[in-house]
Amino acid sequence: MSDTIRDTVIIGSGCAGLTAAIYTARANLKPLVLEGHEPGGQLSITTLVENFPGWPEGIQGPQLIENMKLQATRFGAEFRMGHLASADLSKRPFALKIGSETIHTRTLIIASGASARWLGLPSEQALIGHGVSSCATCDGFFFSGREIAVVGGGDSAMEEALFLTRFAEKVTLLHRREQFRASRIMLDRAIAHPKIQFRANTIIEEVLGVEQKEVSGLRIRDIVTNEESTLPISGLFLGIGHIPNAKMFEGQIDLDEDGYIKTHDSVFTRVAGVYACGDVQDRRYRQAITAAGSGCMAALEVEKYLEEHGR
Ligand SMILES: Cc1cc2nc3c(=O)[nH]c(=O)nc-3n(C[C@H](O)[C@H](O)[C@H](O)COP(=O)(O)OP(=O)(O)OC[C@H]3O[C@@H](n4cnc5c(N)ncnc54)[C@H](O)[C@@H]3O)c2cc1C
């Protein structure tokens, strides 16, 4: 156990956590950033980011993240590889369990993100950022005039498919079941759209194009007839939801029915001194800039809290 009590600890090194690190480090709070299972967060697994302000030609996701990390380090942020297993937020200072170590901190910024659900196929994983995406808002633009596929049967899949019709020539919606979970209204909208074609009872066996590092199609199977076929497409979007990384706070702060952290006034949780920012508390926008913006808010609240309650 360490005797030091930190002013602030940041859980997560995606754009929310790194922005919070830049602000708290610059305020001389010497933040400790826990990097977690995905150092750099979701942007570190993508390629070109064209909608983050300040980069007229776009910037590679990993480069954007590296820049933010350098900026935070320059002001004194400390980074540590490690995964928060559990936290005790009922006593002050708060106690954080990281492996065999316990870290104490006066304030906590939770920026642990929400991981997209993937199919888990090796070919899918190999092609993330090269035609496979879990974010239509982020990557739809790259598929203007192309044929693409969306996988899923709920409202997120319908929403993604409808949004993607703005760019794509044709959108094939693949679902492994006969019945769709989506609400009637979303389903009807998708069915009525001339660019969307439905394929129920269909699973993806393989994403094609691994050697060329660019999606060229899907090997799919009809689970009723067991027939295999190839669907030529240049993009695959996952619309099967996200898993918020907040389980370790269950029972200590409020989570909604899907496990997202409930915040009020942007970044406040129900425990004073504990703030949540980025995708772990935002199921609506899920963008790098909104995550960064709320990371800034959380950092400013930490500063205010420490001014009022002492360091
Ligand atoms: C393929 C893809 C492409 C995208 N493209 C764009 C784009 O072009 N433009 C755009 O604006 N947005 C894009 N996004 C969305 C954007 O990446 C997210 O909105 C953003 O990364 C959210 O930032 P975050 O910091 O909240 O969470 P994340 O980036 O998810 O980071 C979460 C961090 O928390 C850490 N963590 C999790 N659990 C723990 C734990 N128990 N202990 C310690 N650390 C933990 C993880 O290791 C990670 O470092 C894209 C997303 C994907 C998946």
Q: What's the pLDDT tens digit per position in 120-147?
A: 999 999 999 999 999 999 999 999 999 9
Question: Is residue 283 within 6 Å of ligand 1 at its C-beta?
Answer: no
For residue 214, the model assigns a pLDDT of 97
| DSSP track, the chain | ----EEEEEEE--SHHHHHHHHHHHHTT---EEE-TTSTT-GGGG--EE--STT-TT-EEHHHHHHHHHHHHHHTT-EEE---EEEEE-SSSSEEEEETTEEEEEEEEEE---EEEP----HHHHHTBTTTEES-HHHHGGGGTT-EEEEE-SSHHHHHHHHHHTTT-SEEEEE-SSSS--S-HHHHHHHHH-TTEEEE-SEEEEEEE-TTTTS--EEEEEETTT--EEEE--SEEEE-S-EEES-GGGBTTB-B-TTSPBP-BTTTB-SSTTEEE-GGGG-SS---HHHHHHHHHHHHHHHHHHHHHH--
282 annotated active-site: no
Question: Is residue 41 within 6 Å of ligand 1 at its C-beta?
Answer: yes
Question: Is residue 245 within 6 Å of ligand 1 at its C-beta?
Answer: yes
Question: Per the residue annotation, which of 135, 222, 254, 296 is the catalytic one?
Answer: 135
For residue 311, the model assigns a pLDDT of 77
Ligand 1 centroid, distance to 11 Cα (angstroms): 12
Ligand 1 centroid, distance to 43 Cα (angstroms): 6
Ligand 1 centroid, distance to 17 Cα (angstroms): 9
Nearest CA to ligand 1 atom 41: 84
For residue 39, the model assigns a pLDDT of 95
| Ligand 1 mutation target, pool 51, 57, 138, 240, most atoms within 8 A of CB | 138
135 annotated active-site: yes
Residues of the chain with pLDDT under 70: 1-3
**Which of ligand 1's atoms lies nearest the C-alpha of 277?**
26
138 annotated active-site: yes
Question: Is residue 87 within 6 Å of ligand 1 at its C-beta?
Answer: no
**Which of ligand 1's atoms lies nearest the C-alpha of 245?**
38
For residue 47, the model assigns a pLDDT of 87
For residue 2, the model assigns a pLDDT of 56
Ligand 1 centroid, distance to 194 Cα (angstroms): 33
Ligand 1 centroid, distance to 285 Cα (angstroms): 12
Question: Per the residue annotation, which of 15, 138, 277, 282 is the catalytic one?
Answer: 138
Ligand 1 centroid, distance to 236 Cα (angstroms): 19
**Which of ligand 1's atoms lies nearest the C-alpha of 133?**
1
**Which of ligand 1's atoms lies nearest the C-alpha of 289?**
11
Question: Is residue 147 within 6 Å of ligand 1 at its C-beta?
Answer: no
For residue 270, the model assigns a pLDDT of 97
Question: Is residue 287 within 6 Å of ligand 1 at its C-beta?
Answer: yes
pTM of the model: 0.90
Ligand 1 centroid, distance to 65 Cα (angstroms): 10
For residue 233, the model assigns a pLDDT of 98
For residue 310, the model assigns a pLDDT of 81
For residue 46, the model assigns a pLDDT of 84
